[in-house]
Amino acid sequence: MNIIAQNKTSIRLTDGTILDPFIVRLLGQRGIIGQQSISEFLEPRLSELPSPFLMKGMEQAVEIVANALLNKHAILIWGDYDVDGTTATALLLRFFKYLGCGEAQYYIPNRLTEGYGLQEDALKRISDENPGDNRVLITVDNGISAHSAVKLANKLGYKTIITDHHTPPPEQVPADAILNPKQKDCPFPAKNLAGVGVAFYLAMGIRSHLHSNDFFDDTRAVPNLKLLLDLVAVGTVADMVPLHGVNRILVRAGMETLSQCSNLGLTALCRANNLDPTFIRSEDISFQIAPKINAAGRLGMANRAVELLIAGTKSDGQSIARELTKNNEKRKNINIQELANAIHDIEESEKTNKYSTVIAGEYHIGVAGIVASNLVEKYNKPCVVLCKIDGGTYKGSARSVPGVDLYLAIEKCEALLLGFGGHTMAAGLSISTENISKFIQLFDRSIYEQTQGKVNKLTAEVDADIEIEDLFKNDKLRQLHLFEPFGQGNPQPIFRDTESRIFGITPIGKDKNHLRLSFGGSGRKVTDGIAFGLGYLAEHCRTNKDKEIMYTPSVNFFRGKRSWQARVTSVEFSKP
């Protein structure tokens, strides 16, 4: 809905709805003030997207791909095993299929046995198995640092296009075309696209180029790229890049596409996890959809995630969705054990870093990133989990806290590393055993240099004090939903209620770690709620009347019916 000003004190939507003053105040707290800013935020439009040809390297990339398509040359897409990489791979596969030019081939390395990025042994094997001239290699969500592998691709006869969003090294990779908004002198205005966002822009550029050269006619329809935006939404939210500007436009439109259920695999995955596919929110992507897609890669089967995302039949989508959901349960069990091992190792260590956490051991490489995230939450400082690969090498994942540029911190340790890559909040690296001790010290020092010992707390700020029953009114919730998508740069609002009573307290879950709650306020309206991970507070909630409930609106989907519920993030009790 477009927005027009009603007068100086109120703003009206074009359907006649006046924005609630409470909603306007929340927008103002986020620096979104005035008619134009509010309009751009609440109703982002695809027409506002910048041209793909502002991205450095786009002209060269589309020329290479167009020539391959017109001459039916082989195209190999080289992806990554996380959600961003698998959605980007699936996006280009679907796009090339829409063009009616045959199916491209794809390859994603095995996380457990090969590791991240363009792998020379696998590339050589694929080249030998599929000989030919004028072949094209397109990387998605990787490749910006793969100098030796790209040189091999050139030697094998591939025209190579790198599409990536990770920070480029000083020396440019020797590819035929590079698409990365972060590369030097790139005028593209949005520097924080996810890998799937860069892949989508490549598709935009190719379609525009083909259209200008009369590729489309009565037998070849111009593909509707909005049908691919559900993949962009999932990959972008999962990769935790800032959700403002171009990313907000792409994800908002992608969530609309998700609701149309055009992707059979994603729809099946939603239904397999008790989500309403016609009303998906960003928290559903973060906590339900993305972990299932990621689980495939964490267990060394990322190709199954791609097969889900390109599923051509409902039955195929349902079968793979069930498989990925089951795999995620296996991943959870592995993660629980490895986190316990990591905490034990940290607490048993004679010496721990003051400003960071670095551990090295025989941990499962597939869950290193999740364990690192768990440790960040526990210790509130950047964390690196290094996993033993063979006798002399460790590979690992790193996660950061707000205010600490993880890539910059690791870059200061580059001389000790075999390789590294990533961005502000997440990174990966490899290191020889003999350099681990020096790395631990240097990494801690580099964190201190950024923070001077002051690290932002991971506690969420309260956006407003409001009773649950006052917020849970259709008009307010509907208007608050326009704030979606939530994520980095646009956090989900947290509200505080000091008045509502809690009753109907029921511990739920296999280990009774969660709570099913009901809330009642002064108006006697009952609102249902859920509190994940707060099962230990059940008795306190029953016996303590003076409490502060921190919560945010969420959606419950049960037996085909959708309803709003309060998701409690924390409960604080008055001290006796």
| Section 355-367 average pLDDT | 92
In this structure, are 110 and 241 located in the same domain?
A: yes
In this structure, are 309 and 355 located in the same domain?
A: no
In this structure, are 446 and 470 located in the same domain?
A: no
Instruction: Render pLDDT for 15-33 as a digit per residue (tens, 0 to 9).
Output: 777 889 999 999 999 999 8
Quick check: is 56 in a domain?
A: yes
Residue 361 has pLDDT above 90, yes or no: yes
In this structure, are 135 and 197 located in the same domain?
A: yes
In this structure, are 426 and 545 located in the same domain?
A: no
In this structure, are 417 and 299 located in the same domain?
A: no
CATH at residue 441: 3.10.310.30
Q: Which of 99-103, 148-152, 515-519, 561-565 has the lowest mean pLDDT?
A: 99-103
Instruction: Specify the DSSP class assigned to residue 75.
Output: E
CATH at residue 513: 2.40.50.460
In this structure, are 363 and 508 located in the same domain?
A: no
In this structure, are 63 and 160 located in the same domain?
A: yes
Residue with more model confidence, 458 or 571: 571
In this structure, are 57 and 184 located in the same domain?
A: yes
Instruction: Render pLDDT for 470-483 as a digit per residue (tens, 0 to 9).
Output: 999 989 999 999 99
Distances (CA, A) of 556 to 284, 473, 530: 11, 16, 9
Confidence of residue 39 (pLDDT cuts 50, 70, 90): confident
Q: Which residues contact 298 (CB under 8 A, 6 or more apart)?
A: 81, 111, 331, 366, 367, 370
In this structure, are 466 and 447 located in the same domain?
A: no
Domain residues for the domain of 438 are 349-451
What is this structure's pTM?
A: 0.88
CATH at residue 64: 3.90.1640.30
Using only C-alpha atoms, the chain has a radius of gyration, in whole angstroms, of 25
- What is the C-alpha to C-alpha distance for residues 252 and 485, in angstroms, rounded to an integer? 6
Looking only at the bridges linking them, the beta strands covering 3-5 and 11-13 are antiparallel
| Section 313-328 average pLDDT | 96
In this structure, are 393 and 514 located in the same domain?
A: no
Annotate 254-310 with DSSP letters as a single string: HHHHHHTT--HHHHHHHHHTT--TTS--HHHIIIIIHHHHHHHHHTT-HHHHHHHHT
Instruction: Render pLDDT for 393-441 as a digit per residue (tens, 0 to 9).
Output: 999 999 998 889 999 999 999 999 998 888 888 899 999 999 999 999 9
Quick check: is 339 in a domain?
A: no
Residue 230 has pLDDT above 70, yes or no: yes
Quick check: is 379 in a domain?
A: yes
- What is the C-alpha to C-alpha distance for residues 104 and 93, in angstroms, rounded to an integer? 6
Quick check: is 332 in a domain?
A: no
In this structure, are 383 and 490 located in the same domain?
A: no
Instruction: Render pLDDT for 172-219 as a digit per residue (tens, 0 to 9).
Output: 999 999 999 999 999 999 999 999 999 999 999 999 999 999 999 888
Q: What is the pLDDT of residue 4?
A: 45
Q: What is the pLDDT of residue 272?
A: 94
Q: Which of 248-252, 346-350, 525-529 has the lowest mean pLDDT?
A: 346-350
For the chain, what percent of residues have pLDDT higher than 70?
A: 96
Cis peptide before 485 (omega within 30 of 0): yes
Quick check: is 334 in a domain?
A: no
Which of 307, 324, 341 is the C-terminal boundary of a domain?
324
Quick check: is 355 in a domain?
A: yes
What total number of domains does the chain contain?
4
Quick check: is 209 in a domain?
A: yes
Q: Which of 266-270, 366-370, 507-511 has the lowest mean pLDDT?
A: 507-511
Q: What is the pLDDT of residue 524?
A: 74
| Section 249-256 average pLDDT | 97
Annotate 458-493 with DSSP letters as a single string: -PPPP-EE--HHHH-SHHHHHHHHTTPSPBTTBPPP
Which of 424, 451, 478 is the C-terminal boundary of a domain?
451
Which of 451, 480, 513 is the C-terminal boundary of a domain?
451
Instruction: Specify the DSSP class assigned to residue 18.
Output: B
Q: What angle in degrees, to the nearest 10, is found between the helix axes of 290-298 and 229-238? A: 70
Quick check: is 21 in a domain?
A: yes
Confidence of residue 456 (pLDDT cuts 50, 70, 90): low
Give me the chain's average pLDDT, please. Answer: 91
